[in-house]
Amino acid sequence: VCGCNPPCSVCGDGEEVDFPDALVEFPGQPPIECGVLQSLGFIGSIPVGQCDRLPDLIDEVCGCDPRTPDPTPNPTRPPNPEPIPPPTPGQTQPPTPGRTQPPTPEPNRPPTPNPTRPPTPSPSNPPCDICGEDMSMSIGLPDAIVEFPGQPAITCEKLQEEGAAGFVPSSTCDHLPDIVNRVCGCNLPCSICGDGKEVDFPDAIVE
């Protein structure tokens, strides 16, 4: 919010988005325009750790790859107008009186029906495990907070519910384990002595 981070180029290497009005979606968050996301990066509102992963997430939607400019058309000269001869004067004929037609009645318009809103589409993405395939039950920190640039914070448990319900796009789901692994505690607990045993010499040094 205060711009405490260094400027972030969301497309990477100083590139700018080609489609600023396109909408990019992060799991569990409302859509955000590519141009707004780019502005948040320029003012330092995106942490450095998130900035490094953004180009891979938004490249296809926001058009980060430089586009080939359209060729400049050759200038064309407008055609020279042909001279218009002056009208030839002639005899003035008096107007021919005609019959007066009765006014045409206005047609009755049917009432305009009230617009109907289309139904909200159901999610069309396959289920997504945020910790990786077959690891949805291994979220060690369900109440931990995950933050995506330009979006409100969301808990790991809520993010997993959104993924299981199909609200996370497949292209985004592939990158989630690397983003949330440490925050959500995706790795299972490990007993270094085996079978739940504890070390007897905690101050000893292992080399």
From residue 108, alpha-carbon distances to 1, 105, 112, 114 in Å are 58, 9, 12, 18
Q: What is the pLDDT of residues 134-181, one digit of tens each?
A: 655 578 888 999 888 878 889 999 988 988 898 888 888 888 788 888
Place of tokens 């042909």: 82
Q: Which tokens belong to 156?
A: 């790991």
Q: What is the pLDDT of residues 31-52, one digit of tens each?
A: 999 999 989 988 888 888 888 8
Beta bridge mates, 185: none
* Backbone region of residue 111 per phi and psi (left: phi > 0; alpha: psi in -120 to 50; beta: other values): beta
Long-range contacts for 39-42 (Cβ within 8 Å, ≥24 apart)? Answer: 40/149, 40/150, 41/7, 41/8, 41/9, 41/10, 41/149, 42/7, 42/8, 42/9
Alpha-helix runs per DSSP H in the chain: 34-42, 48-51, 54-62, 156-164, 170-173, 176-184
Place of tokens 């992060």: 26
Report the SS3 class of residue 146: strand
Evaluate if pTM is beyond 0.85: no
